[in-house]
Structure 1
Amino acid sequence: MTRSIRPDAVLVQAVIAGALSFAHLHDLAAAAGQTGWKAWAYPISVDLLLVAAWRRLRNSGPSRLAWSWFLIALVASLGANVATAGFLDLQHPPAWLRFGVAGWPALAFLGGTLLAHSNSAGDRVPVPPAPAAPAPEAEGTVIEPDPAEPAEPAPVVAAEPAPALPAADPAPAVPAALVDHARKVADEHHARTGARIDTDTLRSRLGVPAPLANAIAAQLT
């Protein structure tokens, strides 16, 4: 039974990107004075360190060691891609580029050794433990006080006095002339409507405030 081979867009993109990055690293190493097979060894070293750090992250979880070497290899690969795009004069490379390329083998050897032989639990990012839940007390359990410790007396809380009720406003004094006038108004209202005048009507007819109208109405009854 034969299986059909279908092209994967992601795989094709990865192959193209890897080939371009490999070529850029080779060109940068060759420009820095590494000729022959040495120029081809630099991209292999960078990509292997990148893959080793990524595998350490996937297999052992996040750690400072794996993240550090992953970023170092990523910066080396990305820096080569940018440098070969015309930002540096590769015909006359600067001294710091020669220094970095010459020191890369020792740095990559150190990173690969640490990733391969260091303890994965020692450099893992610490996670604070969750607080322990209190143990449930059995139903009906009575906790007796320790006889060696003296019982503290309960604090005495002074009772707050009840708030005093506001004093009722005294009835306003009503002049006799106003009472006589109100009586005439009430009689006129009774003769016209046949009903006793109410307090609201008396207040609107006299044009006085409500407390004074209540006092006048009390004297008319």
Structure 2
Amino acid sequence: MNRSIRVDAVLVQAVIAGALSFAHLHDLAAAAGQDGWKAWAYPISVDLLLVAAWRRLRAGGPSRLAWCWFVVALVASLGANVATAGFLDMQHPPAWLRFGVAGWPALAFLGGTLLAHSPNPAGDRVPVPPAPAAPAPAPENPTPDPEPEHEEIPISEPVAALPEAVAPAVPPALIEHARKVATEHHTRTGTRIDAATLRARLGVPEALASTLVAQLA
């Protein structure tokens, strides 16, 4: 019962905050000379860019591109809230405000296109440490020569067992990142991710991809 009340309160707060931010962006665009339907399109453009950047962060992990456009959209939204609170003369807006509002559509189009069509850079992937090398096998003990006085049957000592292949060490951060990729793949396709797909998404060796799939099963 208490949990449902908390969730409802958060949703109501989000709706109120979104409506106020939407209205402030509309008023700022209208004051900068964008009248009619254009003034209503500006808050939609800012909110869509903010949501697109946030979804990229949730789906693809930390990304400099997504953080950059998330900050741009957030500054545009916060700037409208502050500007309409009496810090600017809305009847006579400055030239830089008109310039910024007029150039926003091209900036938002660039950000949305880059977020939708740019793959995750290699620098955003979790680095994979190299697998430790297997230790060399222990040498066999040589059989001692029999003494001439007493001819004895030499007893061969047991051969030291060769160490098993050491499985590549998987850091917890890589396992968590692979789990997010597997969850996103299952949500999008309805099937579990295989080693080949996980290897292509993470850029890891085939053996490490198979180990990750086995641990995620």
TM-score, length-scaled by structure 1: 0.58
Corresponding residue number in structure 2 for 1:217? none
Corresponding residue number in structure 2 for 1:101? 101
1:28-39 equivalences in 2 (<5 Å):
28-39=28-39
Aligned-pair distance for 1:123?
6.1
| Letter matched to residue 134 of structure 1 | A
Corresponding residue number in structure 1 for 2:135? 136
Give the secondary-structure state (helix, strand or coil) at the position aligned to 1:93: coil
Aligned-pair distance for 1:61?
1.1
Aligned-pair distance for 1:137?
2.4
**TM-superposition CA deviations, 1:4-43 (whole Å, max 9, x none):** 9997011000000000000000000000000010000000
**TM-superposition CA deviations, 1:23-68 (whole Å, max 9, x none):** 0000000000000100000000000000000001111111111111
Corresponding residue number in structure 1 for 2:90? 90
**TM-superposition CA deviations, 1:112-150 (whole Å, max 9, x none):** 111111112x265254442542322223379xxxxxxxx
RMSD: 2.2
| Letter matched to residue 130 of structure 1 | P
After TM superposition, the structure 1 stretch with the greater mean CA deviation from structure 2, 5-14 or 67-76, is 5-14
CA contact 1:65–1:123 (8 Å) conserved in 2: no
Which consecutive residues of structure 1, in runs of 5 or more, have no partner in the other structure?
143-221
- Matched residue count: 138
**TM-superposition CA deviations, 1:61-92 (whole Å, max 9, x none):** 11111111011000000100111111111111
Corresponding residue number in structure 2 for 1:170? none
Q: Taking structure 1 as reference, are residues 141 and 73 closer, same or farther at Cα in structure 2, changes over 3 Å only?
A: farther
Corresponding residue number in structure 1 for 2:212? none
CA contact 1:64–1:123 (8 Å) conserved in 2: no
1:1-16 equivalences in 2 (<5 Å):
8-16=8-16
- Distance in 1 (alpha carbons) for counterparts of 2:24 and 2:137: 71
Corresponding residue number in structure 1 for 2:81? 81
Corresponding residue number in structure 2 for 1:125? 124
TM-score, length-scaled by structure 2: 0.59
CA contact 1:56–1:66 (8 Å) conserved in 2: yes
- Distance in 2 (alpha carbons) for counterparts of 1:126 and 1:141: 45
| Letter matched to residue 104 of structure 2 | W
Corresponding residue number in structure 1 for 2:49? 49
- Distance in 1 (alpha carbons) for counterparts of 2:118 and 2:127: 23
| Letter matched to residue 59 of structure 1 | A
| Letter matched to residue 63 of structure 1 | S
Which consecutive residues of structure 2, in runs of 5 or more, have no partner in the other structure?
142-217
Q: Taking structure 1 as reference, are residues 141 and 101 closer, same or farther at Cα in structure 2, changes over 3 Å only?
A: farther
- Distance in 1 (alpha carbons) for counterparts of 2:77 and 2:122: 25
- Distance in 2 (alpha carbons) for counterparts of 1:133 and 1:126: 21
